[in-house]
Structure 1
Amino acid sequence: MSEATSIPTTMQAVICHGPEDYALAEVPVPQRGPGEVLVKVDAVGICASDLKCYHGAAKFWGDENRPAWAETEVIPGHEFVGTVVELDDEAAERWGIAVGDRVTSEQIVPCWKCRYCMSGNYHMCGPHVMFGFKRATPGAMAEYMVYPTNALVHKVPSHLPPAHAAFVEPLSCALHAVERAELTFEDTVVVAGCGPIGLGMIAGAKAKSPARIIALDAAPEKLALAERTGADLVLNITEVDVVAKIMELTDGYGADVYLEGTGHPSAVGQGLNLLRKLGRFVEYSVFGSDVSVDWSIISDDKELDVRGAHLGKNCWPTAIRLLDSGALPMDEIVTHQLPLSEFQQGLDLVNSGKESIKVSLIPGATA
């Protein structure tokens, strides 16, 4: 066994007591089991899924029949990075890690037994256990956490700032959406939304070298950031008829690929209308309400290829390399870094969506 010294017996952690009832508490530091690793959390990001968990599914969707999104008494937080402080030889050999290494784990902890895991589609694991949603797998809004034996653990360069390194989770998700689009060199790619996922989509698409990347958003500062991330053209949806403009730019055909990362219902119809016949639509967002569209556009009008995207299957090593390359302007993407004690401010910033791009909590930091 290898371990660091001075591991405390208690720690600060955010506890979910129910919808909109989160509180900071002093709780025991988790004990790792055989083959597991104890990690000191360096940073944890907050995203739309955390908001869905916070508000509770019923309120989030406005549907009282929807079940709660997370179990009570769970520690939330599923996009994180930390430092190994304790592990045994089994864990060290399995993951190739040692005390002092900077590590992250994919947000899903696969069962490795269901039909999805057995076919290589571990991101769609049947039990679908994820950090920060089930009591069995506490998340990272805490000073320490445990990676269980089934986890997918990756080393992360130690020179990356913690909040930047924790961006590997949303970036891997964005890269999976890009993979689902099967980009070609001739494609005109439209990315809707220039938040964390959209910016990751732009960076991922840029790495595929399509003919053109067009970014859409309503916020000028986010569009400027999209340009620095790799967009060839940015369009403000409040100032430009984007469907007409894209038709003009593509000789009346429409875009080849549409990557949706806004979570706004209007962005779905927008994408269907600006795509060419036989175009490809990839949906990644978490929506707060049902979306209605004219399905005849998908079938009779254009025969579109509509694909969903979930998590970041097999994209984490690439996301780590992309972060390490400096391709993304992370100093501008990570707009807020707060101590764990200010978790509520972090949730409120993400909920507003107007003052931040990426909000991270830094356990151990002081206000």
Structure 2
Amino acid sequence: MVEQVLAAVRTAPNTTELRELPMPRVADDSALLKVEVAGICGTDVKMYRNPPFDDPVIMGHENVGTIVNAGPQFRRLHGVDDGDRVFVEHYVGCYNCQWCRIGEYRHCEATDWRTNTDARRYGYTTLNHPGTLWGGFAEYMYLPWNAVLHRVPDGVSAELAGLVTPLSNGIEWALLAAGVGYGATVLIQGPGQQGLSQVVACKQAGATKIIVTGTTKDRARLDLAVALGADETIDVTTTNAHEQVMDSTGGKGVDFVLDCTSRAGTAPVLFGIDVLKRREGTLLIQGELAAFPDFPVKLLTEKAITIKSARGHSYRACELALEQLASGRFPLERLSTHRFALDRVDHAIRSLAGDTEEQDVIHISLMPWLGRES
């Protein structure tokens, strides 16, 4: 086993540097993951630009790889062996609280860096914690006894499995949180990773009409939305979106609005309230807005609208995402648009942010061993 591990460490806003770090000691109840793919999403862009703390961090929270050097107790606990390919959730739960016991690790205090300075979460935990390798932008990653693993089905490549996080979020938010089901009409705002994943989730659940909005620069993404099952797309920069949604629904409005616009301000939320049906429509928001001045509570109550929030995913959503990937029903491989090696982490993150010459970026696979002997 190698003694040093190459990792891309975030050392300041908009800055990473390659470092060689000592391989952590593996006890009977721990293991290592040889990282094959670390997905990059919008959260990485946010954490790269505005880190929540100054200490050095190995980013990368969407991680797939193979188990190596697993201790005997770790193998017994997780039912895995060296060489098994797994997807690792970024939550490292306590396994004792009510949330962990039902697979809702995202709600465990031990995983929440916002409220717990000693929290463990891949891509967020600093180098000064025991285990050191707490992120996927590295050749190897440390797995303690309480890491949350999902076995990747045979036939699902590492790169395809790298889509589990956005796909599980789509399933969690659209189906398990919002409640989209058979016969529903749905408006999905924003054709990014989450929006496109929600198209798949809604189609699989039996929604009868799925409308996706975007801008002119999203043309390739909107075309992909159709390939994944959307019935209609709207370019909000060139079309009267309200008129088109109401025409498409016979003047009734939609049952569900799933807002995936993230940083687009208050306009998408207001538009969503406007086009929801008059009784018992549901609006799902990601909660990126710190505040919402002059929120139209009166209109909300008049239409009897329910607002729900979206955050992370459950164990069940990850299992459903892996089943979906294994089924081959949808061309989900088209979501994975770009690959970069470990020494191009900065370029990869900036590409997702739209700050480079890369075109039509949706989901990026950071592959630590790309172009190198393993």
Asked whether the two chains share a fold, i.e. TM above 0.5, the reply is: yes
1:200 to 197, 202, 208: 197
Residue 52 of structure 1 aligns with an amino acid whose one-letter code is K
Structure 1 residues 153 and 202 mapped into 2: Cα distance closer, same or farther (>3 Å)?
same
The answer to whether the 8 Å contact 1:71/1:133 transfers is no
Q: How does 1:124-203 map to 2 (within 5 A)?
A: 124-127=107-110, 128=112, 129-135=120-126, 136=129, 138-178=134-174, 179-203=176-200
**In the alignment, what sits opposite 1:104?**
87
Match of 2:26 among 32, 44, 55: 32
Cross-structure match for 2:326 = 324
Q: Check the 8 A contact 2:181/2:202 in 1, yes or no.
A: no
What is the one-letter code of the residue matched to 1:323? Answer: L
Once the 2 structures are TM-superposed, how far is the Cα of residue 170 of structure 1 from its aligned partner?
Answer: 1.4
Conserved 8 A contact 1:214-1:231? yes
Is the CA contact 1:8–1:29 (under 8 Å) kept in the aligned structure 2? yes
Q: CA deviation at 1:327?
A: 3.1
- Given that 1:131 and 1:139 are in contact with CA atoms closer than 8 Å, whether structure 2 keeps it comes out as yes
Partner of residue 306, structure 2 = 305
Cα offset, 1:351, TM superposition:
1.1
Note the C-alpha offset of 1:317: 0.8
Bigger Cα displacement from structure 2, 20-29 vs 296-305: 296-305
Structure 2 residue 363 is matched with structure 1 residue 358 = yes
Distance 1:221 1:297, change over 3 A: farther
Cα separation, partners in 2 of 1:347 and 1:35, compared to 1, 3 Å? same
> Which one-letter code corresponds to 2:308 in the other structure?
R
Letter in 1 for 2:310: A
Structure 1: segments with no counterpart, 5+ residues: 1-6, 57-67
Q: Partner residue of 1:209? A: 206
Give the count of matched residue pairs. 349
Distance 1:251 1:298 in 2: 21
SS of the residue corresponding to residue 255 of structure 2 reads strand
Deviations along 1:289-329, one digit per CA (max 9) or x if unpaired, are 65546332553332211111111112111100111112342
1:16 and 2:10 aligned: yes
| 2:76 corresponding residue in structure 1 | 93
Name the amino acid aligned to 1:215: V
Query: How many angstroms apart in 2 are the aligned matches of 1:286 and 1:141?
Result: 25
The whole-number CA distance in structure 1 between the counterparts of 2:333 and 2:270 is 33
Question: What's the secondary structure of 1:312's corresponding residue?
Answer: coil
Aligned: 1:337 with 2:339: yes
Deviation at 1:133, TM superposition (A): 0.4
SS of the aligned residue for 2:155 comes to coil
Cα distance change on mapping 1:39 and 1:215 into 2, 3 Å? same
How far does residue 13 in structure 1 lie from its aligned partner after superposition? 0.4
- Unpaired runs of 5+ in structure 2? 113-119
CA distance in 2, matches of 1:107, 1:19: 21
Deviation at 1:70? 4.5
SS in 1 for 2:45: helix
1:207-286 maps to which residues of 2 (within 5 A)? Answer: 207-218=204-215, 219-263=218-262, 264-265=264-265, 266-277=267-278, 278-284=280-286, 286=288
Q: What displacement does 1:120 show?
A: 5.6
| Conserved? CA contact 1:15–1:75, under 8 Å | yes
- CA spacing shift, 1:248–1:227, aligned 2, 3 Å: same
Quote the residue 1:296 is aligned against.
297
d(CA) in 2 for partners of 1:286, 1:97:
37
Q: Residue by residue, what CA displacement relative to the aligned partner does 1:17-40 show, whole Å, maximum 9, x if unpaired? A: 122221111212233333112110
Structure 2: distance between partners of 1:298 and 1:12: 55
Query: In the alignment, is the contact (CA less than 8 A) between 1:36 and 1:88 conserved in 2?
Result: yes
Letter in 2 for 1:8: V
**Distance of 1:14 and 1:53 partners within structure 2:** 14
Q: Deviations over 1:144-174 (max 9, x none)?
A: 0012212211111353332221111111111
Secondary structure at the aligned position of 1:349 is classed as: helix
Q: CA deviation at 1:273?
A: 1.3
Which stretch of the first structure deviates more once superposed, 114-123 or 102-111?
Answer: 114-123
Q: Show the counterpart of 1:62.
A: none
Describe the shift of the 1:126–1:147 C-alpha distance in structure 2 as closer, same or farther (beyond 3 A): same
TM-score by length of 2: 0.87
User: Structure 1 residues 71, 101: closer, same or farther in 2, change over 3 A?
Assistant: farther
Tell whether the 8 Å contact from 1:102 to 1:158 is kept in structure 2 after alignment: no
Q: 1:223 to 1:26 in 2, by over 3 A?
A: same
Q: 1:74 to 1:145 in 2, by over 3 A?
A: same
State the AA in 1 paired with 2:65: G
SS of corresponding position for 1:276: coil
User: Residues 54 and 32 of structure 1: is their aligned pair in 2 closer, same or farther, counting only changes over 3 Å?
Assistant: same
